[in-house]
Amino acid sequence: MALVRPVFLRGLWRSMRAGAGGKAPVIAGHKLLYRCNLECSMCPFWRREDEQLLSVDEEVRMMDSLARAGVSFLGFEGGEPLLRRDLPEILAESHERFHTSLVTNGWLLRNRIDDLAPYLDLLFVSLDGIGALHDRLRGIPGSFDRAVAGIRAVRGRVPLAISSTITRENMDDAEKVVELARRLGVGVTFQVAYNYSTADRMAPEGQKLRGTLERLLALKEAGAPILESREYFTSVVDSWYRGIPWRCKPWMTMNVDPQGRIVLPCYTLREYGGDTPVWDVDVRALWNSYDWGPYERCNKCALACYLEPSLFRWTSPTMIRERILDPIISYLDASPTPALTMVPT
Ligand SMILES: C[S@@+](CC[C@H](N)C(=O)[O-])C[C@H]1O[C@@H](n2cnc3c(N)ncnc32)[C@H](O)[C@@H]1O
Ligand code: SF4
Ligand code: SF4
């Protein structure tokens, strides 16, 4: 199974052309709704009321605006995106335009994967610990077992990774999640929890977090299927523990709320509050007139969707190989990417 389709190459070309004319978003994230079937302690979104959601036609209008702006990767999330009945239609439209990914808590995955698999380039299933620890953080008993059953149902059909959020309660268990990923034969990606004003304050802190990040980096270097780059871990440790900031480029990632409104300057600082619908904005003009300067040294969050593109450098042969050449070669070879290789049950 190839990780990358021709749409990836077309998208890359679109992003490069847009970027040559100034700042342009390359990645977009979109919450399809806020409603959720779980109640995670660190998450503010399930606590929000949904307004009228976008129809499929309005989702398409949003996608066309994103493509015009230069976006090549579109990731869907929420709330719980699998609660939307029209998800297959939305993903099908995205799949024609973008490299398409989805993040789910996995509860409904086993029942819905047949309808979704044809339109996904990458799927993330959230798992924050093993068994009871995950269930406690997610607020609903049985959520660990449902997520693992979902992963087992998807393996071999869609490139798949566990998405794990590091909180002050599960910092010591990150290695167990890596081990689970290894046993299941999937990738794993980590993010550090951010303290949103309307959720429980679960962000990990202090030397203990540093230890977790350094242990994850060591595991990655020893061959564990951790998807973050080496630079992701070293940049967070350098900034938060050694006073050497990374240069954040929030303009490389655009987030769009469930009503199609752009979230500026970024997901975290605005706590996902949107302003103007993306189809009412000349994104290229806005991106090149907006004052991004104050955010360059912000370094408040370590969300990979902002940090990884911020760290990308055309002068780094390793980054060019890992993020551009390997996916292209895997497409040409029609062979799977090693970190996402599937193993049979
Ligand atoms: C908001 S959820 C939406 C998708 C789906 N409901 C899920 O849980 O996978 C997307 C990701 O955000 C993570 N997340 C939740 N609260 C967070 C926080 N306070 N800081 C960082 N990530 C968080 C979740 O663990 C999940 O992996
Ligand atoms: S993190 Fe995901 S599963 Fe948990 S409450 Fe938030 S939206 Fe729902
Ligand atoms: S580091 Fe700051 S500016 Fe950059 S994405 Fe995180 S919160 Fe936003």
Q: 34-55, pLDDT tens digit by residue?
A: 999 999 999 999 999 999 999 9
* Distance, CA of 131 to chain centre: 23
**Ligand 2: residue whose CA is nearest its atom 7:** 79
Tell me how far apart the alpha carbons of residues 340 and 17 are, in angstroms, rounded to a whole number: 29
Q: Work out whether the CA dihedral 50, 56, 60, 63 comes out positive or negative.
A: positive
Q: What's the confidence (pLDDT) of residue 307? A: 95
Cβ density class 17-52: b for 16+ within 10 Å, e for less? ebeeeebbbbbbbbbbbbbbbbebbbbbbbebeeee
Q: In the structure, what pLDDT confidence band is assigned to residue 29 with cuts at 50, 70 and 90?
A: very high
User: Is ligand 3 within 6 A of the CB of residue 295?
Assistant: yes
Q: What's the confidence (pLDDT) of residue 325? A: 58
Q: Which atom of ligand 2 is nearest to the CA of 138?
A: 4
Per-residue pLDDT tens over the stretch 219-266 = 999 999 999 999 999 999 999 999 999 999 999 999 999 999 999 999
Distance 170 CA to ligand 3 centre (A): 23
Q: What's the confidence (pLDDT) of residue 336? A: 37
User: Is ligand 3 within 6 A of the CB of residue 194?
Assistant: no
Mean pLDDT computed over 315-319: 63
Omega of the bond prior to 265 within 30 degrees of 0, cis? yes
Phi (first) and psi of residue 316, to 5 degrees: -100, 110
Q: What's the confidence (pLDDT) of residue 112? A: 97
Fold of 6-333: TIM Barrel (3.20.20)
**Ligand 3: residue whose CA is nearest its atom 8:** 266
Q: In the structure, what pLDDT confidence band is assigned to residue 313 with cuts at 50, 70 and 90?
A: confident
State if pTM tops 0.85. yes
Mean pLDDT computed over 133-151: 98
Q: Which atom of ligand 2 is nearest to the CA of 107?
A: 3
Order of all β-strands in the sheet with 122-126:
187-192, 160-166, 122-126, 99-104, 73-77, 27-31, 253-256, 262-263
Which 3 state secondary structure label does DSSP give 174?
A: helix
* Distance, CA of 308 to chain centre: 10
* Distance, CA of 246 to chain centre: 19
Distance 76 CA to ligand 1 centre (A): 12
Q: Are 176 and 127 in contact (CB under 8 A)?
A: no
Amino acid at 202: M
Q: Got the DSSP string for 287-322?
A: HHHS--GGGTT------HHHHHHHH--TT-HHHHII
- Is a pLDDT exceeding 70 seen at residue 323? no
Q: Which two tokens stand for residue 131?
A: 């068994």
